[in-house]
Structure 1
Amino acid sequence: MTTSTQLLPAKNELVLVTGASTGMGAATARELARRGYHVLAGVRRETDANQIQADRIEPVILDITAPDDIESVAARVGQDSGSRRLRAVVNNAGIAVNAPVEVLPLAEWRRQFDVNLFGHIAVTQAVLPFLISSRGRIVNITSVGGKIAMPTHGAYAGAKFALEAVSDSLRRELAPLGVQVVIVEPGGVTTEMAGRGIATANQLAEGMTSDQHGRYDGLIGAITAQAASFTKTGVPADIAGRAIADTITTPNPRTRYTIGRDAAILVRVARIVTDRTLDAILRRNLAPHYAKR
């Protein structure tokens, strides 16, 4: 894998990347542009558009839960359908709001599923005719949380598990039509999303009842400390972006890729141990992060 920042010759192809304001999405957009693709970088705010705009990177306002935004992006892809084919869509946008199942309000459950699942389906439906025409590729960014559900990650993991299942179904539906579907499962990556998720989790914890504080304060503190540790030692976003770009440029991609040593190990372990054994492993890994009494 090359780490050069030199622009390669331009290709006559588009790639749509959602959630391209920061982190993995922005890094993926920049790497794809470097490799010659014209990137439609989905962002939610004009300020983010100004930051990501660059040679071969065209920012587009795209809240994947907003039907009008999705319709506009599909129309933008259609403008180039006669001259530049849609090579791929990278469904990367996401949020993380973590709290125990008992504590997390239903509105937050719905919001996470809207962004982390239904929004990706809506974008895919909108651009799928172009991908079928070009025999392109769909890259869905799930998570190690799409294979292993940590405590307090019920809503996030639930949406990511569901996206894994939808991706499997979609892959089998589209294979006869020449469209490939690839799943990418990152572990700890140094992105802003993790920090925002920790802040939101702390805010939700403030609204717990006294009984809930007694049940969950230690767990929430440990999970938060563990997440901060993973973020600090995680894979840099640029490396994750190159890995995602590889899934688009490789001729014969696998159906699934992990990013980061932690994701690779956890996903493999989960395949071969019993649920009880996996519970014990996760408990043991979390134990050092509990506050000392």
Structure 2
Amino acid sequence: MKSVLITGCSAGGIGAALAHAFHQKGYHVFATARTPSKIPSTLSSASNVTVLKLDVLSSSDIAAAVESVSHQTGGKLDVLVNNSGGNNSILPALDVDIAEAKAEFDLNFWAPLAMMRAFAPLLIEARGCLVNNTSASAVSPFPLMSIYNASKAALATASETWRHELQPLGVRTITLITTGVNTGSFRKPDRKPIRVPESSRYYAARDFIVGVGDGRMQDGAIPAERYAAAVVREVEGGGYGTVWAGTQAWMARVAFGLTPKWAFDMLIESIVPFGKAMAKATLKSD
């Protein structure tokens, strides 16, 4: 039986959807989360699903997960999905807390690197597949999300580099460029609220800035289950390298890759109309 470990499997999210999709394909699923009680019961009570506590920022948790997987699979892992991540710094760069920004890089970049290194022996033994979930933000400069954009860009570039490094060792690498997926993550009650300081040069547009983080960008996006099915098809079908997945993924790939700069800027502004919001707010304050 093939095996897969997925990080960030809390209910309602991409990780849980991926876990369900792999389980339906007959995999032994190692569903992990920082808080295991948040993993849906449909997974935790299923056969051939092992729930593990795994804070990807904890070296001891990672080591314990490696030991548990190795013990149950005979030292192999067919698929590792680095899915955990966060977008907790939705603010203009002038207002971002540097310590919080570094923490976001720890979660979105350094943690996947640590996971890849720790599980590499098991992936190599299985001649398996590494899947790194990045974002369309890695290639699109959405305003107010420079930290998230940059951390995902770092992961996307590193993932493609790891692909070249791991290929001679028999490991296939998929770099997911994820577009919109409706997970409800922005509307979770424990999500840290966005606060624009009164000293901000953008304070007049504070309502717009706060609104960007209220979940509206996921409105109309495809459900996580549909996204997960597409990702599993790529893994099962031998996909490798950069793979776009999510809402209108094919169109997004064309738009981001072929659109002239001026038109691309117009596209970005249509998605996050920050320039228009600032102009409107400035007129009101005058």
TM-score category of the 2 structures, normalised to the smaller one: 0.7 to 0.9
Match of 2:85 in 1: 94
Q: TM-score, normalised by structure 1?
A: 0.85
**Count of paired positions:** 275
* Residue in structure 1 matching 2:68, options 71, 76, 81: 76
1:267 aligns with 2:257: no
Query: 8 Å contact 1:87–1:137 — kept in the other structure?
Result: yes
Deviation of the 1:212 alpha carbon: 3.8
Asked if 2 retains the 8 angstrom alpha-carbon contact of 1:101 and 1:154, the reply is yes
* TM-score, length-scaled by structure 2: 0.87
Aligned partner of 1:29 in structure 2 is 19
Unaligned runs of 5+ in 1: 1-11
Find the partner of 1:253 among 236, 239, 245: 239
Query: In the alignment, what sits opposite 1:42?
Result: 32
User: d(CA) in 2 for partners of 1:36 and 1:285?
Assistant: 39
Change (3 A) 1:277 1:149: same
Contact 2:17 / 2:224 at 8 angstroms: preserved in 1?
Answer: yes
In the aligned structure 2, how far is the partner of 1:246 from the partner of 1:31? 10
Q: In 2, distance between residues paired with 1:35 and 1:100?
A: 43
Asked whether the equivalents of residues 148 and 267 of structure 1 are also in contact (C-alpha less than 8 Å), the reply is: no
Deviation at 1:219? 4.8
- Tell me the residue number matched to 2:216: 229
Q: How far off its partner does 1:223 sit? A: 3.2
Which amino acid is the alignment partner of residue 232 of structure 1?
A: D
User: Which residue in 1 is equivalent to 2:56?
Assistant: 64
Q: Is the alpha carbon distance of 1:199 and 1:80 closer, same or farther for their aligned partners in structure 2, counting shifts above 3 Å?
A: closer
1:99 Cα deviation from its structure 2 partner:
1.1
**Deviation digits for residues 232-269 of structure 1 (CA, Å, limit 9, x no counterpart):** 2111011112122222211x214222223444323321
Conserved 8 A contact 1:184-1:257: yes
1:188-226 C-alpha deviation (Å, 9 max, x unpaired): 1111323359953x4332x34254413x4265156346x
Partner of 1:239: 226
CA contact (8 A) 2:16 2:39 kept: no
1: CA distance, partners of 2:183 / 2:271: 22
User: Using the alignment, how far apart are the partners of 1:231 and 1:273 within structure 2?
Assistant: 23
Q: Is the 8 A contact 2:3 2:27 kept in 1?
A: yes
8 Å CA contact 1:30–1:57 kept in 2: the answer is: no
The answer on whether the counterparts of 1:112 and 1:156 sit within 8 Å (CA) in structure 2 is: yes
CA deviation map 1:10-56 (0-9, x unaligned): xx221100001131100110111111110111111142247330222
Unmatched 5+ residue regions in structure 2? none
What is the distance in 1 between the residues matched to 2:29 and 2:191? Answer: 31
Letter in 2 for 1:40: F
**Residues 1:18 and 2:7 are matched in the alignment:** yes
Task: Quote the Cα distance in structure 2 between the aligned partners of 1:31 and 1:222.
Answer: 32
Counterpart Cα distance in 2 of 1:75 and 1:236? 33
Q: Equivalents in 2 of 1:169, 1:197: separation in Å? A: 37
CA distances 1:95-140 after superposition (whole Å, capped 9, x unpaired): 1111110111011111111111111111110000111111100011
Give distance in 2, aligned partners of 1:93 and 1:148. 20
Once superposed, what is the RMSD of the aligned Cα atoms? 2.5
Report SS of the residue matched to 2:84. Answer: coil
**d(CA) in 1 for partners of 2:195, 2:210:** 13
SS of aligned partner of 1:80: helix
The one-letter amino acid of 2:125's match is S
1:128 aligns with 2:120: yes
Taking a change above 3 Å as real, the CA distance of residues 129 and 85 of structure 1, as seen in their structure-2 partners, is closer
Indicate conservation of the 8 Å contact 1:184/1:256, yes or no: yes
Q: Which residue of 1 aligns with 2:164?
A: 172
SS in 2 for 1:60: strand
Q: In 2 relative to 1, CA 46–137 (structure 1 residues): closer, same or farther, beyond 3 Å?
A: closer
Letter in 2 for 1:31: A
Cα 1:188–1:49 shift into 2, 3 Å: closer
SS at match of 1:151: coil
Change (3 A) 1:90 1:194: same
Separation of aligned partners in 2, 1:260 and 1:198: 25
Task: State the alpha-carbon separation in 1 of the partners of residues 240 and 122 from structure 2.
Answer: 22
> How far apart are the structure 2 equivalents of 1:197 and 1:100?
23
